[in-house]
Amino acid sequence: MQTSVEHLLIQIWDASAGFQDLEISQGRPDIDAPETQAGRKTGRNESVFSLPGKRFFTHGTDVAKLYFRYSAMNAGKSTAMLQVAHNYEEQGQSVRLFTAAIDNRYGGGVVTSRLGPQREAEIFDTHYDFLQEAPRVNCVLVDEAQFLTAAQVKQLHQLAQVRGTPVICYGLRSDFVGEPFPGSAYLLALADDIEELKNICTCGKKATMNIRLDEHGKRVTAGEQVAIGGNERYRHVCGRCFYGA
């Protein structure tokens, strides 16, 4: 019998090496697909595949996830997002980049790394519907994801789980008084893969919190949750400095 095999290209996240492309072969339900180097057929519409020290199991083609990469400010979230976009496109894959309409530090609709690189992106506001507006692409990347609404996080979760499109969100976890942003709270609840991007406090410990400063450089402990600003208005600190600053 002639064998027909579908090839799937998925990405495995490894904390030490970043995203690694892994191609597996998946036979159709009524066809006996042979064993391949990367993966083998189980006899149903399923595949088993592995990397050193890891074993993965897929059903059908539903291997996409909703990822949340969070950190304190200035940890390189936008830089990481631009790198992922470049990696996809270098392999001929299509991506769509989004950033929050409310974040106008570098002009509307621009993802900017503090290291210099920047790139135009589509903007989302509280009324944007990712399920209606986002066509099929290989990956959706969202910067400033803390400004997503609860409904939008659910839409992105569906985009990954139902439509099979990987979604990677980058954002802050908490605000200047330690309260979670609504978008981040729902991402922490729904994301299939969560990772903290590291940064360093001035005392040398890992920075996990953010504090807001006034025009004189003094700490602000009350006010609206959202106030757009950069290094002149915010500082990333560790937990000890957050409670003692």
User: Any idea which residues carry the catalytic annotation?
Assistant: 144
Maximum Cα–Cα distance across the chain: 77
Kindly report the number of other CB atoms within 10 A of residue 76's CB atom. 18
CB within 8 A of 217, min separation 6: which ones? none
Kindly report the number of other CB atoms within 10 A of residue 6's CB atom. 14
**Residue whose tokens read 């002009």:** 107
Long-range pairs of 35-42 with CB within 8 A, sequence gap ≥ 24: 36/5
Question: For strand 46-51 and strand 39-41, is the pairing parallel, antiparallel, or unpaired?
Answer: antiparallel
